Structure 1
Amino acid sequence: MEVKERIGEWFEHFHANPEVSLKEFKTTAKLVEILSGMGVEHKTFEDVTGVVAEIGEGDEIIAVRADIDALWQEVGGVFKANHSCGHDANIAMVLGALTYLKTEDLGGRIRFIFQPAEEQGNGAVSMIERGAVDGVSHLFGVHLRPIEEIPFGKITPAIHHGAAVFLEGKITGVDAHGARPHQGKNVIDPLFAINHFLKTIYFSPYEAYSVKLTKMQAGGDSVNIIPGSATFALDARAQSNAVLNELMERITEGILAVGQMYGVEIKTEWTDYTPAAEVSKESVEIARTGILETVGEEGLAPAVITSGSDDFHFYTIHRPELKATMIGIGADLQPGLHHPDMTFNYEALDVGARVLAATLKKAILLNKK
């Protein structure tokens, strides 16, 4: 069977059997089955899903990462696991690259990291803690891109993801009868104050950032009760880690001031922080060379800058010496990532696998010089 056909079969399997973060048990088992069938050395972990495989020999180690988890979302009126972010495609492309390379004399080692829990934002850290990037000099990622960014046939050597974080909060005031508002502390007032405050946060117009409330819950079925309890959540994003850190500080200070002003208790917790991309120029140039070698000048796309985020960038936050970039594969993907009915041109799978293989091989050759 040709490699292209095998890549297609792998994609179909993982697409039909999605699993959510840290529950990728069958996905891990299937990866082990595939790698064992290829005779590729690999290891799993007792306390977390995911697989790390390696081919080649030598001191130099280059790595590539594929995320393996699916989203939990409503599809056709039913909530279920769904690969609407394209991780099934990422798995298939990385397996394809491994297949193209495993019989070659590489002159170094290539590590394949099949990472769990990207959607939860903590899968990369779990792999770092288990030695997945120990000794690695260059790290590459891969991801399908929406048609609005790049079309099928185009490939970018770098995706500049933004940083993102969520805040969840609870406001505790005092319930009261609607006829006696002076006896209570209405939590709806500080909720609106928080929303207004967020709109007063400004940075330089040359910086990309956003913050907005995404959830507000207060009160019950009775409309004559002043609610004394509320919950809320907000989404904060920035194109740089420095701006997001300052944004978080301002939000924390502002919400504290709102609580003091209204005399209510506001407890908050930051969750699911994902850092912005720290992209290596050297790795970008290697990926660019791999793209040109595979699809030519007409297939090379400029770097993509997106407010979306990816936990791939925890690798460089925790290991600053890593030279990393994520390659973006144009696939006519639409309506968009995370849409329950997302679809794309499957021809992109083999193209992505061949670009990855060329990039990884080039990285070893350049690193040995």
Structure 2
Amino acid sequence: MEKNTIETKVMEIFEHLHTHPEISWKEIETTKYIENILKENGCRVRTFTDCTGVIGEIGNGKPVVAIRADLDALWQEVNGEFQANHSCGHDSHMTMVLGVLLSIKEMGEIPNGTIRFIFQPAEEKGTGALKMIEENVVDDVDYLYGVHLRPVQEVENGMATPALLHGAARHITGVIQGEDTHGARPHLGVNAIEVGTELVQKLNHIHIDPLIPHSVKFTKFLAGGESSNIIPGNASFSIDMRAQTNEMIEKLTTSVQEAVQSVSDYYHVPINLSIESMMASAIVDPQAQEFMAESITKVLGKENLVDPLITTGSEDFHFYTLKKNHIKASVLGLGCDLKPGLHHPNMSFDHKMLIPGVEILTNTVLKTLEHLTK
């Protein structure tokens, strides 16, 4: 398969994935489509009985270098209609990782060691990587790489960063459990809206080390019904927390729990909290970052190599290194004129950057294997 043929195939793959989005844990047809491509290109393939996702392998034995892509699309309103939508670029991530397979197969001789292609479900839920870890997908992995498109505000078109320093995130839901009372008799109950207001004030007064970026805020609060003469005793809410380190997100979680408990005690009303999802902050290996930087320089030129990027977003990729600390990892951040931004329903990017992305990742995987087998 010549270079022009690979480029054509890569674009065909992207077009298919882009026009067939599927939401988290329901990436059934996406899994089948990728499984077929893996098998057509000589991979040993593994699927799962209780979840979506697919693993492909070429080569044999140690070392094991893996590259991961995320399968799922977002569910969001697009032009007035709710639908699955690849506004986070996962269609491009899958395409580039498949492009790595096509490129390596074209070389004819597979290097010593194993190259593992991990197509992981449910990144947007923050639970897909944890499921792959539970399935022992990365137990023997030495180096692990990923890729994520970057918005134009972070990395300009034609440039790339060898490491994305995502922060940690945690999402908490809560329920205030009281009883409704008559609007004329507020003394007979507790107004859940007043409890919620107090909670907002408590969260605003959480003070932790200001040198480590962090934030906590309400993102939803629902109370009351159609009757304006009823004081609501019940309410539900959501809290979004962000922090640049895994240690800080733990401190922030403890502070939120303490604040909620103090309001609960003051108003004598139960407030139950549940952690709905979480993301780990980046743990980047210097050698993995260096391999990626060398590959960016080779493909795009030194002038287009950007320093490691601290970003306010989060990625469940980093659970792999948090839970399996033997893994050396880094995530490529690819500048591709992405506008207006990630998760925007009408997100667009320069599709021509898919090919340089493939080349950078291919070079990184091969460079890593060469280093490990010297």
Counterpart for residue 259 of structure 1: 264
Q: Secondary structure at the match of 2:333?
A: strand
Moved more, 342-351 or 166-175: 166-175
Question: What is the identity, as a one-letter code, of the residue corresponding to 1:21?
Answer: S
Question: What is the identity, as a one-letter code, of the residue corresponding to 1:27?
Answer: T
Once residues 123 and 261 of structure 2 are traced to their aligned partners in structure 1, the CA distance between those partners, rounded to angstroms, is: 31
Question: What is the identity, as a one-letter code, of the residue corresponding to 1:48?
Answer: C
Deviation at 1:312, TM superposition (A): 0.3
Counterpart for residue 83 of structure 2: 80
**For the Cα contact (< 8 Å) 1:175–1:184, is it kept in 2?**
yes
**For the Cα contact (< 8 Å) 2:166–2:310, is it kept in 1?**
yes
Once residues 128 and 250 of structure 1 are traced to their aligned partners in structure 2, the CA distance between those partners, rounded to angstroms, is: 29
Deviation at 1:317, TM superposition (A): 1.2
Q: Secondary structure at the match of 2:18?
A: helix
Once residues 61 and 21 of structure 2 are traced to their aligned partners in structure 1, the CA distance between those partners, rounded to angstroms, is: 36
Counterpart for residue 293 of structure 1: 298
Question: What is the identity, as a one-letter code, of the residue corresponding to 1:43?
Answer: R
**For the Cα contact (< 8 Å) 2:78–2:345, is it kept in 1?**
yes
Moved more, 33-42 or 330-339: 33-42
Deviation at 1:307, TM superposition (A): 1.4
Once residues 322 and 256 of structure 2 are traced to their aligned partners in structure 1, the CA distance between those partners, rounded to angstroms, is: 23
Counterpart for residue 322 of structure 2: 317
| TM-score (norm. length: structure 2) | 0.97
Answer yes or no: is 1:330 the counterpart of 2:335: yes
**For the Cα contact (< 8 Å) 1:155–1:330, is it kept in 2?**
yes
Answer yes or no: is 1:37 the counterpart of 2:34: no
* Aligned pairs for 1:51-200 within 5 A: 51-102=54-105, 103-200=108-205
Q: Secondary structure at the match of 2:252?
A: helix
Once residues 275 and 58 of structure 1 are traced to their aligned partners in structure 2, the CA distance between those partners, rounded to angstroms, is: 30
Q: Secondary structure at the match of 1:314?
A: helix
Once residues 126 and 241 of structure 1 are traced to their aligned partners in structure 2, the CA distance between those partners, rounded to angstroms, is: 20
Counterpart for residue 304 of structure 1: 309
Q: What is the percentage of aligned positions where both structures have the same residue?
A: 46
Question: What is the identity, as a one-letter code, of the residue corresponding to 1:264?
Answer: V
Moved more, 135-144 or 1-10: 1-10
Counterpart for residue 372 of structure 2: 367
Of 196, 203, 210 in structure 2, the residue corresponding to residue 205 of structure 1 is: 210
**For the Cα contact (< 8 Å) 1:61–1:136, is it kept in 2?**
yes
Deviations 1:121-148 (A, max 9, x none): 1111111122221211100011110000
Q: Secondary structure at the match of 2:97?
A: helix
Deviations 1:322-365 (A, max 9, x none): 00111111100010000000000001101100000000000111
Once residues 122 and 14 of structure 1 are traced to their aligned partners in structure 2, the CA distance between those partners, rounded to angstroms, is: 21
**For the Cα contact (< 8 Å) 1:51–1:115, is it kept in 2?**
yes
**For the Cα contact (< 8 Å) 1:166–1:234, is it kept in 2?**
yes
**For the Cα contact (< 8 Å) 2:289–2:330, is it kept in 1?**
yes
Of 354, 357, 360 in structure 2, the residue corresponding to residue 355 of structure 1 is: 360
Deviation at 1:204, TM superposition (A): 2.3
Of 225, 229, 235 in structure 2, the residue corresponding to residue 230 of structure 1 is: 235
Unaligned regions of 5+ residues in structure 1, if any? none
Question: What is the identity, as a one-letter code, of the residue corresponding to 2:62?
Answer: D
Of 47, 52, 55 in structure 2, the residue corresponding to residue 49 of structure 1 is: 52
Q: Secondary structure at the match of 1:277?
A: coil
Deviation at 1:205, TM superposition (A): 2.2
Q: Secondary structure at the match of 2:101?
A: helix
**For the Cα contact (< 8 Å) 1:152–1:332, is it kept in 2?**
yes
Once residues 57 and 230 of structure 1 are traced to their aligned partners in structure 2, the CA distance between those partners, rounded to angstroms, is: 56
Of 2, 19, 23 in structure 2, the residue corresponding to residue 20 of structure 1 is: 23
Once residues 134 and 233 of structure 1 are traced to their aligned partners in structure 2, the CA distance between those partners, rounded to angstroms, is: 35
Q: Secondary structure at the match of 1:2?
A: helix
**For the Cα contact (< 8 Å) 2:58–2:110, is it kept in 1?**
no
**For the Cα contact (< 8 Å) 1:57–1:106, is it kept in 2?**
no
Q: Secondary structure at the match of 1:109?
A: strand
Aligned structure 1 segments of 4 or more residues deviating by more than 3 angstroms: none
Once residues 46 and 201 of structure 2 are traced to their aligned partners in structure 1, the CA distance between those partners, rounded to angstroms, is: 51
Unaligned regions of 5+ residues in structure 2, if any? none
Once residues 192 and 123 of structure 2 are traced to their aligned partners in structure 1, the CA distance between those partners, rounded to angstroms, is: 35
Once residues 299 and 95 of structure 2 are traced to their aligned partners in structure 1, the CA distance between those partners, rounded to angstroms, is: 18
Deviations 1:165-200 (A, max 9, x none): 111001012211111111111111110000001110
* Paired residue total: 369
**For the Cα contact (< 8 Å) 2:59–2:111, is it kept in 1?**
yes
Deviation at 1:55, TM superposition (A): 1.3
Once residues 287 and 109 of structure 1 are traced to their aligned partners in structure 2, the CA distance between those partners, rounded to angstroms, is: 19
